[in-house]
Amino acid sequence: MVQVAINVEALRLNFQALCQLVGGGAKLMAVVKSDGYGHGMVECANVLQSAGCRCFGVSSIEAGEALRRHGITGRIIIFLGGDIARLAEIQEFELEIVLYDEQQLQDFCQSSSAVNEKIEIHLKVDCGMGRLGFAPAQTFRCCEQLQETGAFAIRGIMSHLPCADSDLAVTLAQNKTFAGAVELVKSSGAKPQAHIANSAALLADSALHWDLVRPGLALYGCYPSANPEQQRVALVPVMTASTIVIQVKDVPSGTGISYGLIQHTRRPSRLAVIEVGYSDGYARSLSGVGQVLVHGQRAPIIGRVCMGMVVVDVTDIIGVRRGDDVVLLGKQGDEAIHADEIAGWLDTISYEVLCMFGKNMKRSYVND
């Protein structure tokens, strides 16, 4: 059976390690958007809350509501903001809203009469990402408009870094731009928490920590960069993906394998058919390049990945039988396949691998 196992103890350990790195200088916001990067938003948030986390980041109001309904009592920040039609829900579930767009700002200010208790706002500024956010110079005016309504409290000012995993010089220059925006907000009389650090920035330089850090990927045990300087905290992978062997067969040299017969055996071979495919998030582009673990040894994929099956070469692995466990992501014996390695085969990033596996394979939770 194709499944992912989420190690909740590893999640706790990663949270504690990141808190220790940050020290007392900044608080930690656990980013659990996109269903907890495929690990399960509600389940992970509850584990992190039990470990001491008091602040969570998600994309949508619906996600914020789900967290509240499942016992999350800490702060919840909605990264994609909200619509004025959802003011009642924002207030009912005590959600903190990110504002990043002029029309969005005007809509909220004009609807202030419908606000019963102050809604907490985070202003987002674009310091070089080229995506969501006000221009830094606009922040003072934004604060004035929000404060004039009496309906909103400016709880935070935030931005996002496009290359904290690859270019520290550019990142620090953007942080300097952010510092100017923070000063403008403070000059309005507001006392916001400033936050700009994703996982890569958190691991790169303490100057990027400000008042609040926003790790996502690092919580789930993956490093955002191959740079050793950004791997100075021991993280434990949280997700393992596995399946089973459903047939073992011996074939002669020259046998074509799977759709299109794009690969042929080069010797008499023993093949194992395993139960997983692109309908499970195991991408077709892993055809002929991916590997899995069987009996703690690497077995290469041969031929095309199918909708629900993959063929691997187990010629050099002794004693493989139907029903044997196969690890797609994670550790078996002394060998391990990490999300970064799979991402390399796919020419993508580990974030995508975790989301694909976690959203398409049945999840279980373990406490190892």
Known catalytic residues are 33, 259
115 in helix, strand or coil?
coil
How many whole angstroms separate alpha carbon 313 and alpha carbon 268? 11
Single-letter code of the amino acid located at 297: Q
Q: What are phi and psi of 45, to 5 degrees?
A: -60, -40
Where residue 165 falls (left for φ over 0; alpha for ψ -120 to 50; beta otherwise) is: alpha
Cβ count within 10 A of residue 245 = 21
Which residues on neighbouring strands pair with residue 158, listed in sequence order? 124, 195
Q: Residue 203 to residues 21, 177, 210, 235: CA-CA distances in angstroms?
A: 8, 20, 13, 12
**Cα–Cα distance for residue pair 145/102, rounded to 1 Å:** 11
Tell me the β-bridge partners of 294: 297, 326
